[in-house]
A and B are shown apart, each in its own frame.
Chain A
Amino acid sequence: MIEIEINGNVVKAKAGEMLIQVTDREGISVPRFCYHKKLSVVASCRMCLVDVEGAPKPQPACSTPVNEGMKVHTQNDKAKASQKAVMEFLLINHPLDCPICDQGGECELQDVAVEYGSDISRFSESKRIVPDGDIGALIQADMTRCIHCTRCVRFGLEIAGMMEMGGTGRGEHLKIEPFLKEGIQSELSGNMIDVCPVGALTSKPFRYELRSWQMHSMPNIARHDLVGSNLFVQTYKGKVKRVVSADNDLINETWISDRDRFSYEGLTHKNRLLEPQIKVQGQWQQVSWKVALDYAVKGLNSHVLKHQKVNQLGGLASSTATMEEFYLLKKILTEVGCDNIDHRLNVKNLDNVITLDSNIKLGALEKIDYALIVGANIRLEQPMINHRLRKATKKGADIDELNVMAFDFNHPLDTKNITAPNKIAPTLAGVLKSIMISNTQELPDYLLAVEVGEVANNIAAKLLNSRSSVIILGEHIINNEDASTIANLITQIAQNTNSKTLNLSITANTMSANWVGFVPQNSGMNVNTMLASDMRGFILLDIYPQYDFHDLETAVKAFTKDDTFVISLNSFKDDIVAGYSNVILPIASVYETSGTQLNINNDMQSYTAAVKAPDEVKPAWKVLKVMADLLALPSFHYADSAQVLAEIFHQPQTKHTHDENVNLTSKHHGISIIWQNSPYSIDAVLRHSNALQKTKIGQMNSAYMNQASAETLGLSADDKYLGVPVVITNTVADDCVFINANQAVNTQGQT
């Protein structure tokens, strides 16, 4: 710690930090444009000039390191004169279009100009005009307003990991523009809107709608990945109009993914389900809540409860539900007397599931020196986690992948190991064997026959040499024949090398489902058993089978049976849901309900509703509570969701025991299919947000396979496979089809 003097006051500072960091901490205002706390310092705008005693000229605060005894003036005549001069230069080419600029009212240039600009312009020559191209569905460019601070360029380079924006030309002809015709495609691109200090980059879906001062800003939590980014939901007259990021260094720093930023558009989609409906003699009728709930409860009573067929009632929920909703649905079924609950709808074999702890904090991910990614396209699946990994690579960390396809990463990979799905477990076994041999440990029986290849040796050596490493398991493994073996091998490898593990095979709010134990505990049936047996009633929470189940047909068949009574709670209309349901209840979607999200670090974050749901649409926790009351179940006395959460805390934590078997004998032949909803199609709100769907990521809809697999399947590049256009590429491993679909896929006939 050293002491410096700013404007006559002595303040403490860390040696070597930049002057602007000290003034920011002390609340002394220094104007700036190019400096951003999370980006590198370029000191190009010169707005932050301050007077440092002893220096002949004013110094830029953002790039002047502090020294013991330094005396700084931020407001004396010399400092002010230079700030004023810089301001005048910046305003030379800036258009006077604040009245039609969406940044107006929250613009850094406006604010600084009010303080430092002069009233009258001395510039009488002509101003520069920059024509704009279309730079994508999410960001609107008005480059005449650009002040060349290069924050967006540095954001692309340093954070998004793709240099999509750049400066071309020099001097008066310098233009900031995307290099490629397709414009900005990064999954974090929306942050450029936040970093741009002026209105050169603004939100396209929000264009010209409102002024920043018209909206209420409510803190909330993002719901589309395992991070639970903090954000502000900005509302006007009860509608969500914009989402911007909030700072939280432990979780999302200051960035949010495009998925979290633009998903709100889905809330006002014309497909929203707005009224309760019941099916009477095959005809849908729109009815009041009272009629619908009575009908639902009567249906449950007559189909299930009256016949003492309690064990033929099932409760299924998608991973988007809140912790309270998982808990209440579970409690209803428990009180009724059964345990048939599940959220693992897309897992084919529930005797072969991944159990892996996540034991590394997001912040610690930046500090690792080696990471092994197994079965994950982490950049698109978990953008905010990938961002931390990227930061680690910038500090020199090595990253290896063990994937079925070479995905586009935005950080360098040390080795790309493209491995057929059935070779992943043997490779990991090789890694474990190699490690145990190096550690001169006794080998367990199942490793004796394992061959250790070069890839395995390589990974083992890196794991052994690293000080802090992490092994990441992703969602491509969930339906792997060796899923549980892979997870157990990873656990063992981690134990033997002191590595951390990160389980990214789940998503959204699955952590909450696990927390409240939303899986059958004792005698209950899991989802696949339920679908295969003769059920007489279902309560389905926010389920759209064509996206959520690994096998659409079996699910729909089970729900459609004549004597099966199905109550669906959904936010959006859906033909398939309407086909099998007896009652459809409209429930609130994201930002419309209060609830709790548990992220991968076990950070429990509760949020309140930012807007009220449309008139006849109710939060699911309330619907479940009232349904329980009507079923005359005791102890459902909650006034708000916080009381539900309080009760969850008093529950004994369900301990999951899992086997640690490693079974390397499975002999899987033939072609494996890995089916995944494309990143902007993973839940119903996202599927209904127009701007996101127009982006390149939103349009992802391909079945990737290599030439050999295509020949085996008798397909060519113009064909469709399971309804998805075929793309033949040698980046896919043998015997594997990797599908990224933004449409409903029927994967019946998987081999």
Chain B
Amino acid sequence: MIKKLSKLVKSFTLSELRTGLKITAKELVNKKITVQFPEERTPISPRFRGLHALRRYPNGEERCIACKLCEAVCPANAITIESEMRDDGTRRTTMYDIDLFKCIFCGFCEEACPVDAIVETQIFDYAFESRQGSIMTKKRLLEVGSENTQVINQTKFEDAKYK
């Protein structure tokens, strides 16, 4: 009985509407939290697992030694590697493909890599223009690596102490 009565009073006095408007009025003068993507970006944890990259050593030599541990550990079977002995006698990949449609961004490949060659960067806003675009080839992976060397080094450094 009392419940019904209070409901009746509330609806006639527009009390709920007023509470709502009060919040609106308050937020009208408060600092905005909306981010204008892509002009503005939210901060990302250094541990974020985005697009993959293959890294190089400072002298330009690619890190990957074709051990195929990332291929073996990948739960989604997204990685395909072919290897050979390069002319200088070192072990190198001739093909290194990651199918981003298959990848579940678990980060296991990065975890497995003994030479920190394959890493996941903070890049998450990428698009493909064709079906084949989902395949990150060795060339593209190395490009991502070179273009973002600084950021990658920085984030990996920040995260290292928790590993």
Contacts and interface: CB of A to CB of B under 8 A. Distances in A.
A214 interface: yes
Contacts of A208: 66, 83-85, 91
A183 interface: no
B84 A99 contact: no
A213 B67 CA distance: 12
A208 to B, nearest CB: 4
A207 B90 CA distance: 10
A100 B65 CA distance: 7
Nearest to B67: A99
B115 A99 contact: yes
Interface residues of B, number: 13
Nearest to B84: A208
Contacts of B67: 98-100, 104
A99 B72 CA distance: 12
A445 interface: no
B85 A99 contact: no
Contacts of A213: 72
B68 interface: yes
Contacts of B91: 100, 208
A99 B83 contact: no
A98 B72 CA distance: 14
A209 interface: yes
B88 to A, nearest CB: 12
Contacts of B83: 208-210
Interface in B67-90: 67-69, 72, 83-85, 90
A104 B91 CA distance: 13
B114 interface: yes
A241 to B, nearest CB: 12
Nearest to A237: B82
B68 A214 contact: yes
B83 to A, nearest CB: 6
Q: Identify which of B90, B91, B114 gathers the most chain A CB atoms within 10 Å of its CB.
A: B91
Contacts of B65: 99-100
Interface string A188-212: 0000000000000000000111110
Interface in A357-410: none
Contacts of B69: 99
A208 B115 CA distance: 17
B87 to A, nearest CB: 12
**Chain B CB within 10 Å — which of A99, A207, A209 has the most?**
A99
A98 B65 CA distance: 11
Contact of A211 (B68, B85, B114): B68
Contacts of A210: 83
Nearest to A207: B85
Contacts of A100: 65-67, 90-91
Contacts of B115: 99
Interface in B88-106: 90-91
Interface of B: 65-69, 72, 83-85, 90-91, 114-115
Interface of A: 98-100, 104, 207-211, 213-214
Given A100-B66, A100-B90, 20 more contacts: A98-B67, A99-B65, A99-B69, A99-B114, A99-B115, A100-B65, A100-B67, A104-B67, A207-B85, A208-B66, A208-B83, A208-B84, A208-B85, A208-B91, A209-B84, A210-B83, A211-B68, A211-B72, A213-B72, A214-B68
15 contacts: A98-B67, A99-B65, A100-B65, A100-B67, A100-B90, A100-B91, A207-B85, A208-B66, A208-B83, A208-B91, A209-B84, A211-B68, A211-B72, A213-B72, A214-B68
